[in-house]
Each structure stands twice: as C-alpha cells, then as structure tokens.
Structure 1
Amino acid sequence: MAKKSSHFPWQHLIGFLLSIILTLAALWVGLYSGFSMTVIIAIIVTLAVFQAVIQLFMFMHMTESSNGKDQTHMMVHSAFIAVILVVGTLFVLSYGFH
C-alpha cells in the first residue's frame, strides 16, 4: 500500500507564524517597552536578523540544493551589494556633495 503523505505546507505555516510573532515582538519593544533607545534598536535589529534567517530557510529554499554552494554564493553576493548600497546611500545623505 502506498504511503500517505500530507500535502499541507506545515513548514510554511510555522515560518509564517514565527515571522508574525517576531514582528509583533518588535512592535511591542518599539512602542510599549520602557527601554532606552539604544536597547530598543539592538533588540529590533536582533529580531530582524532572526526573521531574515527564518525567511531564508523556510521560504527561500536555501536547503533545497544539491550542494548548497549556489545559494550561498548568491546570498553572499546579494549581501555585498546591499552593504554597498546602504553605506553609499548613508555617505551621500550625510556628506552630500554640493
């Protein structure tokens, strides 16, 4: 007899719920906690990193490659481009050329 398999995407549901929980936690920290601004920013950045990791592994199929090198190479390249864009934007906005 054939093995029954569940076609319900449990991994996606768990990832979605974790993302919602992390978003609500960041909202609570930003709006209702009595922490200093430095602590609030540190907590929100930490929660954002956790949420990015959840997104990468549960929704963007980082683990579904034959060797994993392709996804890793693309993510490192994308992060490099993102850092260049953010640093360049901050530089231009802070020390704009007149």
Structure 2
Amino acid sequence: MSQSHVKANEKHPLFPIKNVIGFVLSLILTFVALGLGAAHILPFGPIMLIIMGLAVLQIAVQLFFFMHFMESDGPAYHVIGLTIGIINAVAVIGGTIWVMTFNSQVH
C-alpha cells in the first residue's frame, strides 16, 4: 500500500462512530422537541423557547458531526459562509416577523 492510502485510512476509520453519535443526538433532539410540542405540558411561550433552544443544538450537532466544521486545515472560508448564512436567516426571520406584526396592526 502507498503512504497516502495508509494515512487516509488512519484519518477515516472503518466504523464511523462520530457519524453514529451525531445521528443519535439528532434523533434525540428531534423526538424531545416533538414530545414537548405534542404533550402540551407547558404554556405556549416556554415550549417555543425550549424548542428554539433545541433547534440551535440541532444546528450545532449538524455542523460539528456531519459537516466537519472544525476539521478544516485550510483558510476559514467556512466561517465566512456560516456568517453569511446567519445574516440571511436573521434577515428572513426578522422580515417575516416584521411583516406579520405590521399586518396585525392594520386590521
């Protein structure tokens, strides 16, 4: 075997335990959010805050376990892309809330 093939196998083990852990964490976060929404054990506001917190955790799991966010050796282009994505998400969500609030004030 060549040196590059041996190094590639060292970097990527046969059993992808990191992907399995990320998948299980994603399932747990999803089912906790679903259970909270379906059980109606708390008022609407606290449930929405908890579900939003779980969504942020879900984003972190996706970034670190599946998208290998911190494993890059090169320039930090992924940080720039993530920043642009966050700005776009805030603009879309903020604009949607603003439009919905304006619509409720008109009627």
Q: TM-score, normalised by structure 1?
A: 0.82
Q: How does 1:1-98 map to 2 (within 5 A)?
A: 6-67=13-74, 69-95=76-102
Given that 1:15 and 1:59 are in contact with CA atoms closer than 8 Å, whether structure 2 keeps it comes out as yes
Moved over 4 A (4+): none
Distance 1:41 1:68, change over 3 A: farther
Deviation digits for residues 25-76 of structure 1 (CA, Å, limit 9, x no counterpart): 1111111141111111111111111111000111112012115622111101
Rg comparison, structure with higher value = 2
**What amino acid sits opposite 2:90 in the alignment?**
V
Equivalenced residues, count: 96
**Match of 2:71, SS?**
coil
Q: Which structure has greater helix proportion?
A: 2
Identity %: 35
Secondary structure, counterpart of 2:73 in structure 1 = coil
- The runs of 5 or more residues in structure 1 that have no matched partner are none
